[in-house]
Amino acid sequence: MYPQMLASAILTLLAAVPLALPSNTLAQTAAQNSAKGDEVLLDMGQAFKRADRKKLTALLPQAQGHALEAWAAYWELKARLEDASAPEVQDFFKRYAGTYQEDRLRNDWLLLLGQRRDWGNFAAEHPNYRMGDDREVRCYALLVDHLRLGASAPASLPAEVLKNWLAQRDADDGCTLAADRLYSAQKLSSAHVWRKARLAMEANRPRAARDAVAIVLPEAGALVSELNANPAKFVALKAANTKLRKELLLLAIIKMASNDPDAAAGAMGKSQLAQLSNEERNWAWGSIGKQAAQRLSDDALAYFAHAPDSGLSDEMLAWKTRAALRAATGAATGPSKAPDWAQVLKATAAMGEDVQREPTWVYWRARALLATASTAPERAEATRMLEGMASPRGFYEMLALEELGEKISLPPRPAPLLPEEQESARLNAGLNRAVYAISIGLRSEGVREWNYSTNLAKPGGMSERELLAAAQFACSHAVWDRCINTSERTKTEFDAAQRFPTPFKDQVLQRTAQIGLDPAYVYGLIRQESRFVMDARSGVGASGLMQVMPATARWTAKKIGLANFSADQLNDRETNIAIGTGYLKLVLDDLGGSMPLAAAAYNAGPGRPRAWRNGPVLEAAAWAENIPFAETRDYVKKVLANTTLYAALLTGQPQSLKARLGTVGPRAAAAPEANTELP
């Protein structure tokens, strides 16, 4: 459905949907909408991005009565929130009570109150905050409880502050302040604070590391900046330097490892590092091992061996496990070798309970048990682990099915939606506003309104049947990303048609048949790239259904003979599919027909997978798990899982994920690459 037709259809529907607003019903606001009104909303959205307060204030009266008036009012007030009065804010809360925009502004207001240290008003407003998904706001709230309750505050409060603080990648005021106050009150230890500093340095967040260090060592700000800029020089300083603390030395080793793990390992043998405690040395070796594993270094396991598994963090243990999966040895051109299953068992056993339950580590631990089992009970335990996770719901869940000797089939469809279930979704005001916003070009706002409507607009969120009905409402309006994401949230019901839709089917099938490409692979990739959003645009400039970069598109257009191509055509559906499938076919041929390698190349560029494939010949699941980039690692697994389910959907036949994965190894051990000119 074209956007203009969709907007018109939604407006007609909005007129039948009541929404409690102070002076207008949604029917009245919908009746007053027009193309001009939509343009006002779009202009205000752009003005908000530019922080143009004057234009927002000037345009706001023209947005009154529009179905998306709450967005206009939110943008205008948010842009001047620092200067707004408390009565203005409270009036907004009352006028738009129950809406996403009300709670979004409350989130913003609570952050501002926290920054102002206005704890009285913060405490009064926080109980009304429904979303509760902002860690910084949560830290402020916990700090208020600490200040208000003192010794009678819940014993769990410091641990919750620490959990939120450690989870914040970037420096923030709320969690840092709460940690500082709790440290001063001796509710958090220096070890907790140094842990935050270490994690921040490992994540290359020097400001967050500096802020943490300042809590326990206020005078060390300059030293943290110094060691971040030149860790090797800092490590070389003599221990007699009174400003040199062993914790700062460890931060320098961590930073050094992120630049050059081998150099950091060499520094660990120097005499001044003897001042590190066992716990600190374990962390240092774990950080060095992790960085080496992320570089696919054969030395990773040797570095990890300097520290007991009990002294490593879960993230370090994850990379030790990955290194063990890749530890196969032998001639590069020979047959694939088995991973170091004993190390896989040891490392996964040392992980925290929550991490152990993740499908990734359940699967590999079960595989390791099967490979090393010497007794029937051990084999039975491995089988129970696989049976407990086996399903078509994810990459490792599918692999578990195949380990148990089963193929991958689509689950039975849920019972058809009842008319009243469909009608409830059709008349849901929040869903209608969301679809309308998306239809006029306010996709980000529409997505947020949709997510709120399906999560928090009613206590407890939507039931599974309500989620299916909402997903179907999105599908019926070709809002494919909301259809997929909403349907995926059901735990027991599995509607494959919603989760794996096939829009533009005739075109995709025709194009893939022309160039000899698996249509399931194309659908699996599009689903991961854009969720079928035709005007999707990434932060780096990739466009359209198949998220093609302009330079790649121009190169591909020449290769496939597409005349008179220009980058502005990438949002044209037919052109995007032609360019995207053409490029995917070239990449796939270049990499010997390996779907995992081609998916990695599509996401990260062809040069990186060529380097990542060097080493032993591995089963592709182990190779994919060792991809250094988290985004690409996740991407490859999801594209291949998507492909397998799309194949089941398109053919009606059970499928094998393992057959699509195959093995990955150096070029000499695999099919020769056909094209070395890829950009």
- Tens of pLDDT, residues 612-633: 999 999 999 999 999 999 999 9
| CB within 8 Å of 213: residues ≥ 6 apart | 193, 194, 197, 220, 221, 224, 247, 248, 251
User: Residue 40 domain-assigned?
Assistant: yes
Query: How far is Cα 131 from Cα 147, in angstroms, rounded to an integer?
Result: 24
**Domain co-membership, 584 together with 534:** yes
- 558 inside domain: yes
Q: In whole angstroms, what is the distance from residue 512 CA to residue 522 CA?
A: 8
Residue 622 falls within a domain, yes or no? yes
| Domain of residue 115, residue span | 3-124
pLDDT band of residue 411 (cuts 50, 70, 90) is very high
Q: Which two tokens stand for residue 119?
A: 């704890």
What's the confidence (pLDDT) of residue 11? 53
Residue with token string 């802020």: 211
State the pLDDT at residue 3: 46
- Based on the fold, state whether residues 352 and 458 are members of the same structural domain: no
Provide the 3-class DSSP secondary structure of residue 664. strand
More confident residue, 310 or 22: 310
Query: Which positions ≥6 away from 560 have C-beta within 8 Å?
Result: 578, 579, 582
- Whole-angstrom Cα distance, residue 327 to residue 306? 17
Q: Is residue 249 part of a domain?
A: no
658 and 516 within one domain:
yes
Q: Are residues 385 and 492 in the same domain?
A: no
Indicate if the pLDDT at residue 219 is higher than 90: no
Percent of the chain with pLDDT over 70: 91
Q: Which of 102, 529, 619, 625 is catalytic?
A: 529
Of the listed ranges 127-141, 225-239, 630-644, the least confidently predicted one is 225-239
Does residue 269 form part of some domain?
A: no
Residue 592 and residue 516 share a domain: yes
H helices then E strands: how many in the chain? 40, 2
Query: Which pLDDT tens digit goes with each residue over 222-235?
Result: 889 999 999 998 88
227 neighbors 252 (Cβ within 8 angstroms): yes
Residue 392 has what DSSP assignment? S
CATH number of the domain that residue 558 is part of? 1.10.530.10
Look at 465 and 332; give whichever has higher pLDDT. Answer: 465
Structure tokens of 110? 């609570």
Mean pLDDT of the chain, nearest integer: 91
CA distance linking residue 616 with residue 331, whole number of Å: 7
pLDDT class of 458 with cuts at 50, 70, 90: confident
**What was the pLDDT predicted at 542?**
79
Let me know if residue 536 belongs to a domain: yes
Q: Is 597 found in the same domain as 515?
A: yes
Domain identity same for 446 and 376: no
pLDDT tens per residue, range 311-370: 999 999 999 999 999 997 443 444 556 899 999 999 999 999 999 999 999 999 999 999
Q: Could you give the percent of the chain with pLDDT greater than 90?
A: 82
User: What element of type H or E holds 618?
Assistant: strand 618-619
Mean pLDDT for 101-110 is 98
The C-alpha atoms of residue 547 and residue 534 are separated, in whole angstroms, by 9
Neighbours of 160 (CB within 10 A): 16
The dihedral over CA atoms of 650, 654, 658, 662, expressed in degrees to the nearest 10, equals -60
Residue 467 and residue 575 share a domain: no
Closest CA to 107 of 122, 129, 92: 129
Which residue, among 128, 115, 123, has the nearest Cα to 142 in the 3D structure?
123
pLDDT band at residue 433 using 50, 70 and 90 as cut-offs: very high
Beta strand extents in 523-571 (DSSP E only): none
pTM of the model: 0.92
Count of residues making up the chain = 679
DSSP, collapsed to helix, strand or coil, labels residue 663 as strand
What confidence tens digit (pLDDT) does each residue in 647-679 have?
999 999 999 999 999 999 998 644 444 454 677
| Per-residue pLDDT at 9 | 52
Strand-pair partners of 408 = 655
Domain-embedded: residue 117: yes
Residue with tokens 């193929």: 407
| CA gap 96, 91 in Å, rounded | 9
What is the structure's pLDDT at 337? Answer: 66
Given the structure tokens 């299916």, which residue do they identify? 468
Q: Which residues contact 237 (CB under 8 A, 6 or more apart)?
A: 244
Residue at which a domain ends, from 468, 483, 499: 499
Asked if residue 529 is part of any domain, the answer here is yes
Contact 26, 429 (CB under 8 A): yes
Q: Where are the alpha helices (DSSP H) in 116-189?
A: 119-125, 135-149, 157-167, 173-184
Question: Residue 15's pLDDT is what?
Answer: 47
Q: Name the residue with tokens 């490859």.
A: 636
Same domain as 374, residue 516: no
pLDDT of 272 reads: 65
Say if residue 27's pLDDT is above 70: no
Mean pLDDT lowest for which of 264-268, 466-470, 477-481, 540-544?
A: 540-544
State the pLDDT at residue 509: 97
Q: Indicate the pLDDT class of residue 16, thresholds 50, 70 and 90.
A: very low
**Could you identify the residue written with the tokens 């842009």?**
79
User: Domain tally for the chain?
Assistant: 4
Q: What is the largest CA-CA distance in the chain?
A: 79
Rounded distance between C-alpha atoms, residue 571 and residue 583, angstroms: 16
Query: Looking at residues 191-206, what average pLDDT do you find?
Result: 96
Residue at 607: amino acid letter: G
420 is catalytic: no
Residues 642, 510: one domain? Answer: yes
Same domain, 560 and 581: yes
**645 or 456: which carries more pLDDT confidence?**
645
Q: Find out whether 417 and 411 touch, Cβ atoms under 8 Å.
A: no
The answer on 553 and 436 residing in a single domain is: no
Task: Let me know: does 120 contact 144? Beta carbons within 8 Å.
Answer: no
Q: How far apart are CA 320 and CA 75, in angstroms?
A: 47
Closest CA to 385 of 366, 369, 371: 366
What is the C-alpha radius of gyration for the chain, rounded to an integer number of angstroms? Answer: 28
Of 98, 124, 150, the position where a domain reaches its end is: 124
What integer pLDDT is reported at residue 304 of this predicted model? 98
End-to-end CA distance of the chain: 36
Q: What is the pLDDT of residues 169-186, one digit of tens each?
A: 999 999 999 999 999 999
Determine whether 482 is exposed, middle or buried from the number of CB atoms within 10 Å of its CB (0-12, 13-18, 19+): buried
Instruction: Kindly state the average pLDDT of the residues 217-245.
Output: 79
| Listed residues 79, 105, 124: the one ending a domain | 124
Nearest to 448 by CA among 490, 541, 65, 456: 456
Is residue 66 pLDDT above 80, yes or no? yes
